[in-house]
Amino acid sequence: MGAHFAVSTILVLCLLGISANAEVFTIGSSSGSDITQALLKAFTSACQSTSPSKVVIPKGEFKLGEIEMRGPCKAPVEITLQGTVKADGNTNHGKDKWVVFGNINGFKLNGGGAFDGEGNAAWRVNNCHKTFECKKLPISVRFDFVENAEIKDISSIDAKNFHINVLGAKNMTMDNIKITAPEDSPNTDGIHLGRSDGVKILNSFISTGDDCISVGDGMKNLHVEKVVCGPGHGISVGSLGRYGHEEDVSGIRVVNCTLQETDNGLRIKTWPSAACSTTASDIHFEDIIVKNVSNPILIDQEYCPWNQCNKQKASTIKLVNISFKNIRGTSGNKDAVKLLCSKGYPCQKVEIGDIDIAYSGADGPATFQCSNVSPQLLGSQSPKACSGPVTTTPQQ
């Protein structure tokens, strides 16, 4: 039997605890079948409904091809994913998307289900971390210009590229998101955000092969709290400056998080020989536990992976009003704190308060390095602030 959807009765609506004037569109299909067309039809019907509506994908495993669910919609739409939807296992070279939710005002995605990107074959041929000239791979879940949204109780597994990408969002909350991929899977950023305003990421677990959370240009007012990250490459603002026409970043706050076994910790990275001149300001990290994290605190304005730029030309990205407070735990290398700012535009208003990061390796003790910055120091710092010689940073 092919996949289909059915409109539920008012009785079912009441049992689901939603208003009786709403409609529920349930995907009816046997486990293992392809639900792409049924889901698109259900979403289109829900989007055209003049009252709030809900699309339910039941428990089970289903195949899902490339799909774009775009508004504008006439009323709020909720999608409840109870089962697992699986991408095909091919490399999908040349495609940049799998599941897209776009141009929706008033959107919910929930249900405890999972998006499985089946990324294993794609990882073996992915070289985008080494070169600009690479074939695109699909991002698992994209939110394009989605406003007033709640994404809750959803998992992403083994994405071919980024797990989740957020662009042009306003007033979005992500809560209890679980993201997993092997630590050697390339370019599998957990949540990448850019050109959005007012996003919260709460109570989530991210273990992947690249940044757990990465902040791109144009991001404003991001709040990250109670996120466990690792393995992965930590929580990063940037990289910034790789492209022309980038926009300023401001209002980034990361609090009460735990990073474990990550290749980087709390990081701000900008390109030398940047293609633009922008400002990243009001970026604050506070109450963070690090467990065997390499480069736990890092400002790197000489970020140039695989020598794809001219490091002799200073970064033109200005960093202003940055703070790291109450960061404690253990480092995986001796570079516990490294503030490597631009010689052309030194960092301004950097505040360091109550740092306690230990390192027990044979090449220790831990160091705290500063270049082109004079941080304001509050409380105590271990290791001692700006006491170590400046060394180069491995690029990832």
Using DSSP bridges, classify how beta strands 97-102 and 114-116 pair: parallel, antiparallel or unpaired.
Answer: unpaired
Query: Measuring CA to CA, which residue among 2, 3, 42 is closest to residue 23?
Result: 42
Distance CA 234, CA 213 (A): 7
State how far the Cα of 159 lies from the Cα of 210, in Å rounded to an integer.
Answer: 11
CA distances from 307 to 246, 268, 312, 395 (A): 21, 18, 11, 9
Note whether 272 and 309 are within 8 A (CB): yes
Tell me the β-bridge partners of 26: 6, 56
- Residues with a catalytic annotation lie at 233
Kindly give the pairing relationship between strand 4-7 and strand 23-28: antiparallel
What distance in Å separates the CA atoms of residue 101 and residue 2, rounded to the nearest whole number? 24
Q: What are phi and psi for residue 341, nearest 5 degrees?
A: -95, 170
User: CA Rg, the chain, in Å?
Assistant: 22
